[in-house]
Amino acid sequence: MSDVDKLLNRVETTLNKGREIERIIASFKLNAYDVLGILPGMTVDDINNLYRKISLMIHPDKNRENPKAADAFNILKKAQSDLHNENIRDSLDSAYTTARNQLIAEKKLKWDSEEVKSEDFLFDLRIRWRDILIEDEIARRRARQLELSYQQREQAKKDEETKDRKRRMESDKVWEETRDDRVNNWQDYLHKTKKSTIKKKNKKPKVLG
């Protein structure tokens, strides 16, 4: 029996639909493979076939008595979508390969050794795979946060420049609107100064003695 047949058989012979729902709820959501309960290597057709069988099994309409069915169904649907996204799938596959290579090197195993196929190795592999995906997600979130902070600073800078331009425009407008008053005040000042000067010149000096 092939691995695909075993997986399909697992779903078909599940004694309790709630067991599959609980498995999906407890799965590692950053890893679409884990949600479907598989490892990289399956064809798209096999993944689609498995997805259809699981989705029919846990569909909320067939599990009305289980309040977790809807959440499990949505998680499964997102995982299926992720595995159809080449970028996401490549990222998951790359993390899996890195985790596998690291463990083989650390345990000093041969690629074709039986231990690499053992349940203990697969358990350790899933844990290492999970750790790598978590680190990648943290790095992505930090990068997004830095990008968001940069965008916010740039927007604040643009907003301040806009406010400065508006203040200058308003200042120029006020300056222009008060131009006549300033000219009139200046002319009044010159006129008064001129009159004062003429008055001083015409004033007769006092005679001493």
- Residue 76 CA to residue 11 CA, distance in Å, equals 14
Residue finishing a domain among 88, 117, 146: 88
- Residue 65 CA to residue 24 CA, distance in Å, equals 17
Would residue 208 count as lying in a domain?
no
pLDDT of residue 125 exceeding 80: yes
Q: DSSP letters of 74-107?
A: HHHHHHHHHHT-HHHHHHHHHHHHHHHHHHHHHT
Would residue 41 count as lying in a domain?
yes
What digits encode the pLDDT tens for the residues 80-113? 999 999 999 999 999 999 999 999 999 999 988 8
pLDDT of residue 11 exceeding 60: no
Residues near 87 by Cβ (< 8 Å), separated by ≥ 6? none
Between helices 86-106 and 69-83, what is the axis angle to 10°?
90
What digits encode the pLDDT tens for the residues 146-197? 888 888 888 888 888 888 888 888 877 777 777 776 666 666 666 667 666 6
pLDDT at 111: 86
Which one, of 87, 79, 80, 97, lies nearest residue 41 by Cα? Answer: 97
83 and 106 within one domain: no
pTM: 0.67
- The dihedral region occupied by 124, where left means phi > 0, alpha psi between -120 and 50, and beta the remainder, is alpha
Which one, of 78, 48, 61, 79, lies nearest residue 17 by Cα? Answer: 61
- Residue 168 CA to residue 173 CA, distance in Å, equals 8
Would residue 178 count as lying in a domain?
no
84 and 5 within one domain: yes
pLDDT at 102: 96
**Which has more confidence, 192 or 78?**
78
Residues near 23 by Cβ (< 8 Å), separated by ≥ 6? 37
Would residue 183 count as lying in a domain?
no
Would residue 154 count as lying in a domain?
yes
pLDDT of residue 49 exceeding 90: yes
161 and 120 within one domain: yes
For the chain, how many structural domains are there in total? 2
Would residue 172 count as lying in a domain?
no
29 and 65 within one domain: yes
Domain that holds residue 126: 102-167
Which one, of 61, 66, 76, lies nearest residue 25 by Cα? Answer: 76
**Averaged pLDDT for residues 13-21:** 74
pLDDT at 202: 60
| Residue indicated by tokens 């000219």 | 183
pLDDT of residue 68 exceeding 90: yes
> Mean pLDDT, the chain, as a whole number?
85
How far is the CA of 205 from the CAs of 13, 42, 193, 194, 201, in angstroms? 129, 118, 20, 20, 10
Q: Are 7 and 38 in contact (CB under 8 A)?
A: yes
Would residue 185 count as lying in a domain?
no
Domain CATH number, residue 36:
1.10.287.110
Task: For residue 24, give the H/E element and its range.
Answer: helix 17-26
pLDDT at 160: 85
Q: Which band of pLDDT confidence, cut at 50, 70 and 90, is reported for residue 3? A: low
